Amino acid sequence: MGVDYYSILQLNRSATDADIKRHFRKLGLKFHPQKNPDDQEAADKFKQVAEAYDVLSDPRKRATYDQFGEEGLKNGVPPGSGHAGAWTQGYTFHGNCDKVFRDFFGGDNPFQEFYDRVDGDLSMGFGGLQGRGSKKQDPPIERDLYLSLEEVFHGCTKKMKISRRVMNEDGHTSSIRDKILTITVKKGWKPGTRITFPEEGDQGPNNVPADIVFIVKDKPHPSFRREGINLIHTAKVPLGKALTGWTVDIHTLDERILHIPINDIIKPGYKKVVPEEGMPISSNPSEKGDLIIEFDIVFPSALPPQGKNLIKAALLHQN
């Protein structure tokens, strides 16, 4: 009756390519000589599994085997058999089970350490590998999340599209797919806040996907910058108004207009603090920091003579 390659891989004849790969992966790992030292029965099964995979994973060999059986596969299909695309030469398994195993796993061979030899000896046995336990996780992938001050003031929802490598159902191949990650931005999040999506990085057969971490950063704002929970606004004030009084009009992040009277003389370095008009405190958004107004005093580029005399007269009492 001949060798039943499907039975060796614990499959039926309707098996898909993905089924063949999945079963070879499972049985190849189970009967690998490094896992079964000095076990001739396991070594024989490993060879059978490798040969079965070598045949069934090749469409032309599998087609010949399905129609003509082991005898037709190994003796060759005679001309005029009427089977288009069939294997026409006799097939002989090359016998290198290790090569089949390596070719299947490629650079991600879970037994790679078995082939890294030190002074002619294996650097680590199978037991040593199993002793190390689970797969290693890739380092975190960090991305900047730029938010406007309005978004942080009010809170918002951000949709972030990522592209990552995902393992296919066969457990061996992979493809690039997009995914949308949803970030619920809380009121008052400070720069440097980290939002972690566990294991959303590239997948692989022998790794734990990396965490993806978004790090909050402030977008530049035309009217404010923030320091901690406080908002800083710089107002330009003409010298005359700096000396005589002024009202600063400020459009807030929640679309109000504040009219802040300045009755003090505005000196270099002078600041006006408006309580509770800053950023929400993330732990208690009903509370806010302060609004701090800094001033940029604008000096005139020139003065007419009578203007100078008026200023001298007004400031004589300072001398």
The pLDDT tens digits of the residues spanning 263-290 come to 999 999 999 999 999 999 999 999 999 9
Answer yes or no: is pLDDT of 125 > 80. Answer: no
Residue 117 has pLDDT above 60, yes or no: no
pLDDT at 308: 78
Mean confidence (pLDDT) of the chain: 83
Distance in angstroms (rounded) separating the CA atoms of residues 293 and 259:
12
| Same domain membership, residue 286 and residue 259 | yes
Q: Is residue 153 located within the same domain as residue 83?
A: no
Q: Are residues 195 and 304 in the same domain?
A: no
- For 77-224, strand residue ranges (E) read 117-118, 121-122, 136-137, 141-147, 156-167, 174-185, 194-197, 207-208, 212-218
- Single residue among 84, 117, 132 that ends a domain in this structure: 132
Same domain, 142 and 213: yes
Query: Which pLDDT score, from 0 to 100, does residue 130 have?
Result: 41
Choose between 12 and 319: higher pLDDT: 12
Please tell me the total count of domains within the chain: 3
Report the run of H or E that residue 24 belongs to, with start and end.
helix 17-31
Q: Regarding predicted confidence, which is higher, 149 or 243?
A: 149
Instruction: Express each pLDDT in 211-239 by its tens digit.
Output: 999 999 999 999 999 999 999 999 999 99
Poorest-pLDDT segment among 75-79, 80-84, 155-159: 80-84
What is the pLDDT, as a whole number, of residue 89?
A: 66
Residues in Cβ contact with 302 at an 8 Å cutoff, skipping those fewer than 6 apart: none
Q: How far apart are CA 63 and CA 48, in angstroms?
A: 19
Higher pLDDT, 123 or 317: 317
Residue 122 is predicted with a pLDDT of 37
Whole-structure pTM value: 0.56
CATH of the domain at 310: 2.60.260.20
Give the pLDDT mean for 244-253.
94
The domain that contains 49 carries what CATH number?
A: 1.10.287.110
Residues 128 and 9 in one domain: yes
Claim to verify: residue 112 and residue 157 sit in the same structural domain: no
| 65 and 108 share one domain | yes
Categorize the per-residue pLDDT at 193 as very low, low, confident or very high, splitting at 50, 70 and 90: very high
- Express each pLDDT in 19-43 by its tens digit: 898 898 888 888 888 788 888 888 8
Shared-domain flag, residues 15 and 58: yes
Same domain, 281 and 264: yes
Distance CA 189, CA 249 (A): 27
Does residue 196 carry a pLDDT above 80?
Answer: yes
182, 110: one domain: no
Rounded Cα gap, residues 124 and 115, in angstroms: 9
> Same domain, yes or no, for 211 and 167?
yes
Res. 312 pLDDT band, cuts 50 70 90: confident
pLDDT of residue 272: 96
Residue 2 pLDDT class (50, 70, 90 cuts)? confident
Q: How far apart are CA 276 and CA 284, in angstroms?
A: 13
Residue 188 structural domain = 137-218
- Are the CB atoms for 264 and 244 separated by under 8 Å? no
Token pair 């949308």 in the structure block, residue: 180
The Cα–Cα gap between 16 and 20 comes to 6
Regarding whether 106 and 52 lie in a shared domain, the answer is yes
Of the three residues 199, 218, 237, the one that is the final residue of a domain is 218
Where a domain ends, among 218, 234, 250?
Answer: 218
